[in-house]
A and B are shown apart, each in its own frame.
Chain A
Amino acid sequence: MKSNLNVFLKGIMDVSPLMIPVVPFGLIFGVLAIDIGFSPLETMGMSLIIFGGASQIVLLQLFSGGASSLVIISSVGAVNSRHLLYGAVVSEHLSDLKLIWKIIISYFLIDQAFAISNEYLKKNKQSNKYFHLVGAGATCWVIWQSTTLLGIVLGEAIPDKLGLSFAVPLTFLALLVNDFRKLINVVVIIISGLVATIGFNYIPFKAYVIVSALIGLFTAMILTKVIKK
């Protein structure tokens, strides 16, 4: 059996390519938060306490737009509801763990770590395989905190044209490379993407992410049933 450290290091290795777009994302988050009027300590606090790129950007956008706290908190909740699905997917592999490990791992259950470690968890059987998720999550944590800090310190020295707006979708696109070859996946991808694009302006509280995801899953449910018969 591989040692815990080996599995942890494998998690770090596997997630590293996904950290490239996180660097500009973290930097610009730091710059933006200061620009909007949060103190350096509050900005760092956001990355430490929330630890979620999408949620933090939504918080900033709504805060600078003058939204009420209730709207901000419910929007952050809606954007994050996708984690419910991530949790449901990985829970099968974590259900035998002690509560303390579930508490720790939950903090690291972010998009990139989920996407990478889910593959590993599915393919491996050894009881310490969850260290892969810890390794991937901890890597994201280090990169996110250090780039936030760098963004706060460097501030306006960072050109905002570098492409933050593209780094995020690109990460998720890269995570789907293996799914573009499978018919049902392609259909699910297109439907979810279209619903999100249309719903972006019409579904309140940024809930378009979870609405599109559920419609996509429902499509998968029907297609897998029809195609099997």
Chain B
Amino acid sequence: MSNWSLIIYCGIITYLTRFSMIALIKKEMFNDRIREILSYVPSAIFPAIIFPAIFINDSGLFQIEDNPKIIAALIAMIIGIFSRSILATIFSGLASYWFLIFVV
């Protein structure tokens, strides 16, 4: 398969995952119970991206020692809980990560 066909197929499948539910689901299908469960979608998906990116290193191994990402993520999380600010969370996380890898 050429690179271009590969890119186009990946594009089509990506687009379809975004479009299908918006196209298929009607407003009448919602009730309070479904809304309640769907409100947990961010809490259910984002950790699946966060955890492996922090705990699993480039070689695909679980790494808990000598891992600045864990400390930086904890600092960002604490700042996030108290500030409730997305901006403060990102800045504190990046700043502490850079501090840990470049200074310490």
Contacts and interface: CB of A to CB of B under 8 A. Distances in A.
Interface residues of A, number: 91
A81 to B, nearest CB: 6
A204 interface: no
B48 A173 contact: no
B97 A163 contact: yes
Contacts of B8: 49
Given A209-B48, A220-B44, A224-B37, A17 B86 contact: yes
Contacts of B17: 77, 80-84, 87
Nearest to B28: A95
14 contacts: A50-B14, A51-B14, A52-B14, A55-B14, A77-B14, A169-B49, A173-B73, A175-B42, A176-B50, A177-B86, A196-B47, A208-B48, A215-B44, A217-B44
Nearest to A63: B6
B25 A88 contact: yes
A168 B53 contact: yes
Contact of B44 (A92, A161, A192, A224): A192
A184 interface: yes
A95 B24 CA distance: 9
Main DSSP-derived SS at the A contact region: helix
A165 interface: yes
B101 A161 contact: yes
B104 interface: no
B52 A200 contact: yes
A201 B60 contact: yes
Contacts of A63: 6
Contacts of B55: 197
Given A76-B10, A196-B52, A45 B4 contact: yes
A72 interface: yes
A21 B77 CA distance: 16
A115 interface: yes
Contacts of A214: 44
Interface string B35-49: 111101111111111
A88 B89 CA distance: 28
Interface string A169-198: 111111111111100110011101111110
A163 B14 contact: no
Nearest to B1: A69
A42 interface: yes
Contacts of B84: 177-178
B13 A80 contact: yes
Given A20-B90, A174-B89, A176-B43, A95 B20 contact: no
B41 A86 contact: yes
Nearest to B30: A92
B32 to A, nearest CB: 11
Contact of B90 (A21, A51, A99, A188): A21
Contacts of B38: 85, 88-89
